[in-house]
Structure 1
């Protein structure tokens, strides 16, 4: 640990002020989560490692994209956010999410959900990070580790559940905001919510753009987004919900430092429509959720595609015996699309200009049993039926045990998988229609200790993950093709400390140690985050520091590890009851580094903005 870090840590604690306060916030074990199971439960009853980021933390981050707001609060999460705004799509873009060193290229081993519904592109099976705006989200729950028993394909390294805004009060409410920043960066947002009786309606719009920071290449970005949500409480126990989301973005891929590009323009439109019926009773609860995701991509290089991902999730939680909950569910998805590239001659154009679709239907069962009021046992299994590779079984087991009023033990062992995507099976010369799903086992054990009336919480988790059947290019075949030949072994330790003595002071510290068997991107050996929020009357300061050691930024250069330190500070001032001003300064050490070899990260950049609530 270098000298700047020592100074920052001392400064953080100097800001803390009094150690005790009367107005405390709820910490992890008292929080109710819905992602670790398919119903609302205390986090202390969920065997998975779960991180929760609430609405206030998302707002105070000052981030337009909700994924960036998660970084300080989720141990072991690394986000490749190398642009000032936006992540882009296609080869060479950012937006890769890594949890405990598990990511993928493309980024298809971390599942993103919106209100429990899977979100990934139909052809490449990865999420489109530019579609997730902070203004639309109420809270985020992140499962760190295998989550396929409940959520299916792609949840190998974890699942990120974005829970949409539910409104705040009866009548009209909302907010508008604007910010300007370095390199021609600007963003505008507006949200309007109306609630009356059984109805709730919410609409939000976002516009953001930047000229980019690369002097040798064009890395501009622009995005316009719309979100609409409608809820109707039919009865006390039945609710109807529908929403619509659209994001229209343009991204210029800058290329590497060795090969800068001036006009690699990529236009992409992403949309989502969903309809849900939610029932909430004393003995039976659940939902029937229907979704349709769609997109259109058009690149200056000649690549064009249309894709869809549609399906339904139907599940019910049965509490027929005291202390026991049985969850049964059916998931069906149909994903795929059509891609063309007129600039590619045969055989490089294999599988293009043809519509490809994959159908998958899963059934799953999970039982949770409470024993002696201290132990909660989870047993689950998912049966997969895929139109391409056939059938497979995914089991899982978990246990939580209250050692005392202040100490909680968690253990879990679960299998996870990723179904082959359309690009793996059909597109371009490496495609192979005989592929099977990638699989992984995740084993972990954690201990949580709570002190000082739940003002201080400490968590320690050790984990071991082993993956096999990974889809990789096999150069020994003629021609080289995709095969299930890859494997990995990750093991590590993560710890988190959260201290909330009052609403005027919050501290979160997390650290992840990771040992990987293979050289992969976005898997640092040591990853430390620390953030403090301190309020002085109407003024607030929130410094965030990130320290990375042993990050290999190139799969080809095994000894090319880098270390770096980042410091961001968010300053806020409540000018009026409804009006807040803020300044967000990033990379104040002006650290020069590359998360991915050839792509420099931004230096010092500053954004100033205002937010008006009504």
Structure 2
């Protein structure tokens, strides 16, 4: 862990580099915020910085993905974000599954501390409270927005560690867009993705279908999955729009078990669907947006588990500008989530299969004000109302200082929150109806610096202080969920974006965390570097991932070997809108594990 003194020195050096460099042309200078942030799906234009850094994965980066997993590409480009894996394709669900997501050490497996969004709506398994990694395909996405830090004041429970928002592809210019991507590789791996979209007058639409399969690098590690998505948008008038987004996925996979005790026929069949309908209007009084949403699932597992779950709700917000430099937002959210497992056979008396539901609602506001031309002050407050735990006050406050035309400093504090899931309260034997919500405060200082045209650096230093993290302990040989004591995480992130030429780009991200005793499934050190070059119809990209200080248990127990991976990809477009890709993953054929006992694939291609 680098000392705070070293981090301050690095910030000073970046500021000095800014002061001695040549002045940029006026038309190239803007406030150094991201052009689009994770809040774009809910509080459009209000918050360009909310309590943490924001990373945007653009469409070109999405196209470089080795497979169709959206989470895989997030891990490859965003600091402090880690996704556990155990196979060539697929993550699975239930005990021992991969797909654990952590942001700055917060998240877990199953993932309940990082909130997944689709176009701003929450997407989670209603009973278990976790996200569904196998349902998140890059097909049909325009970009992915990642908020590194708590966003509970906007989204309530589960947004404690951060937010990952999948934004649907739209056709913005008149005309049509049709394409197909084909892939084949070792282990009988195959991939087919197709899309068609268009914009005709006031109507825009985008439809996708995808399929991928593999026999896996181990016996009984087969995977096959299909996904479909649709976006429809229509401008009712120049100031009013309506749009519909929908998705469906069907995943079947096998879990081979740990290598020393391999299993056969441990299958999982996961069906997920979801949709949202949004109406927006902009007038003299400001911008108003209303959204109704829902997602649904059917899970069938080899052990007899059969569940149906749902998450449904409404969202409303209004943005108003009362005076110069001001944007004020008021909003209201309501959601109900739950489900049942009454179709399960056989049924154990130790498990509660009956239908359970929980309701939450919350009013919130956000206030942002430009002051003295260089300062942006923002504050927000959410009053989360939970039917079991009553009221939870979720504040945030931030200050941004545009020190120079290409330099922005930020400081922020925000509260994160997660209420226990139905699984943790009522379902399996570790259940505990006395659990309390997890709570956390995040304090962060950040710098965004454009060094020269095409070179941008970002630094973030943060400290997380929390309590009541839900952990499993054993008493008299029986597991039980309990709230842990207080914890403190500290760390820093460094990002460098360099557009070398008009056709080349370099992205480097480094994160260094001190996680105390909460070390399960979250590496303390992570380095990623991605170099891409585009020429004519060919796109070449090399990616490096280095992981160190990864543990298979809390309290810094069962340290996993450090590893470094090199991945290569080449994409060729023989004719318009058709793409042929070649990927080489783990090009150096390294031996490594992410989940203890599950060896990862060696050199693979597609």
Q: Same fold (TM over 0.5)?
A: yes
In the TM superposition, what are the counterparts of 1:176-575 in structure 2 within 5 Å?
Answer: 176-215=180-219, 218-281=220-283, 283-340=285-342, 341-346=344-349, 348-349=350-351, 351-352=352-353, 354-453=354-453, 455-475=454-474, 481-555=480-554, 558-575=557-574
> Residue 33 of structure 1: SS of its match in structure 2?
coil
In the TM superposition, what are the counterparts of 1:578-589 in structure 2 within 5 Å?
Answer: 578-589=577-588
1:32 aligns with 2:35: yes
> Residue 127 of structure 1: SS of its match in structure 2?
coil
Q: How far apart are the structure 2 equivalents of 1:163 and 1:547?
A: 28
- Greater shift, 279-288 or 380-389, is seen at 279-288
- 1:324 to 1:582, Cα distance in 2 relative to 1, 3 A: same
Deviation at 1:234, TM superposition (A): 0.7
Q: Output one character per residue of 1:21-49: Cα deviation in whole Å (capped at 9) or x when no partner.
A: x9x99999364224246444498666531
TM-score when scaled to structure 2?
0.91
> Residue 263 of structure 1: SS of its match in structure 2?
coil
Unaligned runs of 5+ in 2: 1-24
- 1:173 to 1:394, Cα distance in 2 relative to 1, 3 A: same
- Contact 1:376-1:399 at 8 Å conserved across structures: yes
Q: How far apart are the structure 2 equivalents of 1:28 and 1:507?
A: 22
Q: Output one character per residue of 1:409-446: Cα deviation in whole Å (capped at 9) or x when no partner.
A: 01111001111111011102222223221111111101
- Contact 1:496-1:509 at 8 Å conserved across structures: yes
- 1:503 to 1:553, Cα distance in 2 relative to 1, 3 A: farther
1:107 aligns with 2:111: yes
- 1:194 to 1:604, Cα distance in 2 relative to 1, 3 A: same
- 1:510 to 1:207, Cα distance in 2 relative to 1, 3 A: same
- Contact 2:31-2:402 at 8 Å conserved across structures: no
Partner residue in 1 for 2:82: 78
Deviation at 1:450, TM superposition (A): 0.6
Q: How far apart are the structure 2 equivalents of 1:540 and 1:76?
A: 27
Q: How far apart are the structure 1 equivalents of 2:390 and 2:476?
A: 24
- 1:435 to 1:403, Cα distance in 2 relative to 1, 3 A: same
- 1:252 to 1:478, Cα distance in 2 relative to 1, 3 A: closer
- Contact 1:28-1:43 at 8 Å conserved across structures: no
- 1:333 to 1:425, Cα distance in 2 relative to 1, 3 A: same
Q: Output one character per residue of 1:12-69: Cα deviation in whole Å (capped at 9) or x when no partner.
A: xxxxxxxxxx9x9999936422424644449866653100111122123353122222
- Contact 1:175-1:191 at 8 Å conserved across structures: yes
Q: How far apart are the structure 1 equivalents of 2:475 and 2:357?
A: 29
Q: How far apart are the structure 2 equivalents of 1:355 and 1:28?
A: 50
Q: How far apart are the structure 1 equivalents of 2:434 and 2:505?
A: 52
Partner residue in 2 for 1:15: none
Deviation at 1:113, TM superposition (A): 0.6
- 1:127 to 1:180, Cα distance in 2 relative to 1, 3 A: same
Q: How far apart are the structure 2 equivalents of 1:28 and 1:549?
A: 35
Q: How far apart are the structure 2 equivalents of 1:256 and 1:127?
A: 23
> Residue 423 of structure 1: SS of its match in structure 2?
helix
- 1:536 to 1:246, Cα distance in 2 relative to 1, 3 A: closer
1:50 aligns with 2:54: yes
- Contact 1:39-1:286 at 8 Å conserved across structures: no
Partner residue in 1 for 2:7: none
Q: Output one character per residue of 1:130-173: Cα deviation in whole Å (capped at 9) or x when no partner.
A: 21221211111111011111111111111011111112432332
- Contact 1:28-1:52 at 8 Å conserved across structures: no
- 1:282 to 1:433, Cα distance in 2 relative to 1, 3 A: same
Deviation at 1:549, TM superposition (A): 1.5
- Contact 2:37-2:48 at 8 Å conserved across structures: no
TM-score when scaled to structure 1?
0.90
Deviation at 1:262, TM superposition (A): 0.9
- 1:25 to 1:545, Cα distance in 2 relative to 1, 3 A: farther
- 1:97 to 1:559, Cα distance in 2 relative to 1, 3 A: closer
> Residue 183 of structure 1: SS of its match in structure 2?
coil
Deviation at 1:344, TM superposition (A): 5.0
- Greater shift, 363-372 or 192-201, is seen at 192-201
Partner residue in 2 for 1:68: 72
2:135 is matched with which residue: 122, 128, 131? 131
Q: How far apart are the structure 2 equivalents of 1:533 and 1:405?
A: 28
Q: How far apart are the structure 1 equivalents of 2:250 and 2:538?
A: 36
- Contact 1:48-1:398 at 8 Å conserved across structures: no
> Residue 142 of structure 1: SS of its match in structure 2?
strand
Deviation at 1:384, TM superposition (A): 1.1
Partner residue in 2 for 1:590: 589
1:90 is matched with which residue: 88, 91, 94? 94
Q: How far apart are the structure 1 equivalents of 2:597 and 2:330?
A: 48
- Greater shift, 358-367 or 47-56, is seen at 47-56
- 1:496 to 1:169, Cα distance in 2 relative to 1, 3 A: same
- 1:79 to 1:550, Cα distance in 2 relative to 1, 3 A: same
Q: How far apart are the structure 2 equivalents of 1:506 and 1:591?
A: 26
- Contact 1:207-1:225 at 8 Å conserved across structures: yes
Q: How far apart are the structure 1 equivalents of 2:556 and 2:79?
A: 26
Deviation at 1:333, TM superposition (A): 0.7
Partner residue in 1 for 2:152: 148
> Residue 60 of structure 2: SS of its match in structure 1?
helix
Partner residue in 1 for 2:123: 119
- 1:324 to 1:577, Cα distance in 2 relative to 1, 3 A: same
Q: How far apart are the structure 2 equivalents of 1:225 and 1:560?
A: 36
Unaligned runs of 5+ in 1: 1-21, 608-614
